[in-house]
A and B are shown apart, each in its own frame.
Chain A
C-alpha cells in the first residue's frame, strides 16, 4: 500500500530531465533547417556531392562547415528521406 504522495513522487521520478544540452540541440532545429537548405539543394543538383553525402554524411557536413551534431545529422537524414 502506498500513499498518494508516494505514488506522485514515483511518477515525478519517472520523468527525469534529459542530459544537459539534448533539449537545447533539439530547439536549434529551425536554425539548422535553414543552414541545411543550401546543402539539400546541392545534394539534389550535384551527383558527385550526393555520392559523398551517401558515403559519409558527417564528413560531408564538416566539408560544408556544418558541425555534424546528432541533431543536425538526424534532421538531414529526415530531409533526405522525404
Chain B
C-alpha cells in the first residue's frame, strides 16, 4: 500500500472513531510535525511544543473537513507551516524564514523523502528498526545502545551498517542506486 492510500485508510479509521486510529495517526506524523517546527523553522523548544500541540488539535478537530483523505500529509505540512510562521511572527523572528539557507520548501521536500525512508523501516526486523532508530533518530551512543540492548558496544557499528544495507534493499533499488550525486538526489519515495 503506498503512503497516500495508507493515509486515506487511516483517516477513514479516525473518522469512524476506530480504537487506536488516532494514536496511529499521531505516531505516523509526530516526527514529521516536530521536524518541520524544530528543524525547518528552527523554533525555540517552547514554541515548537505549542506548534506541535496546535497542529494536532487542528487536525483532530478538522479531520472531517479534509476533502481528499489521501492528502493528509500535505495538509499536515501546510498546517504546521502556518502555525510555525505564526509562532515566529509572535516572537518577532519572522525574518528568520527568509534567512533559512535552503528555504522551507527544500526542508519540507527532504522531510517528505525522510518519511518514505522511515516508513520503509517497517520492512526490517524489530532489532534493525530499533538499532537504527536509537542511533540515527534518538542520537544514542554505541555505549548506550549496547547497554540498552545488551550487546557488546564493539558490534553496534557493524550491526548498524548491516541494517542500513537491508533498509537500502527495502527501498526502491533504482532510486537508491542513484544516491550520492547531489544533482541527482534519489527520490527514494
Residues of A at the B interface (CB closer than 8 Å) are 1-9, 11-19, 22-23, 25-27, 29-30, 33, 69-71, 73-75, 77-79, 82
The chain A residue sitting closest to B120, CB to CB, is A8
Q: CA A15 – CA B111 in complex, angstroms? A: 7
| Majority DSSP secondary structure for residues of A touching B | helix
* Closest chain A CB from B26 CB (angstroms): 5
Q: Determine whether B75 belongs to the interface, using a CB cutoff of 8 Å to chain A.
A: no
Query: Which residues of chain A have C-beta atoms less than 8 A from B132's C-beta?
Result: 12
Which residues of chain B in 100-124 are interfacial with respect to chain A, using CB atoms and an 8 Å cutoff?
110-111, 113-115, 117-118
Q: CA A31 – CA B136 in complex, angstroms? A: 33
* Closest chain A CB from B140 CB (angstroms): 11
Query: Which residues of chain A have C-beta atoms less than 8 A from B180's C-beta?
Result: 1-4, 6-7
Contact B179 A74 (CB under 8 A): no
Contact A11 B53 (CB under 8 A): no
Q: CA A77 – CA B177 in complex, angstroms? A: 48
Contact B49 A22 (CB under 8 A): yes
Query: Which residues of chain A have C-beta atoms less than 8 A from B110's C-beta?
Result: 11, 14
Contact A23 B26 (CB under 8 A): yes
Q: Which of A1, A15, A74 contacts B54 (CB 8 A)?
A: A74
Contact B61 A18 (CB under 8 A): no
Q: CA A60 – CA B82 in complex, angstroms? A: 27
- Chain B interface, number of residues (Cβ within 8 angstroms): 51
Given the known interface contacts A5-B168, A74-B54, the answer about A12 and B137 at a Cβ–Cβ threshold of 8 Å is yes
The chain B residue sitting closest to A71, CB to CB, is B53
Contact A29 B171 (CB under 8 A): no
Q: CA A19 – CA B31 in complex, angstroms? A: 10
27 contacts between A and B (CB under 8 A): A2-B179, A2-B180, A3-B179, A3-B180, A5-B161, A5-B164, A8-B188, A11-B113, A11-B188, A12-B118, A12-B133, A12-B137, A13-B137, A13-B139, A14-B35, A14-B111, A15-B35, A16-B34, A17-B138, A18-B31, A26-B52, A26-B56, A33-B60, A71-B56, A74-B53, A74-B56, A78-B58
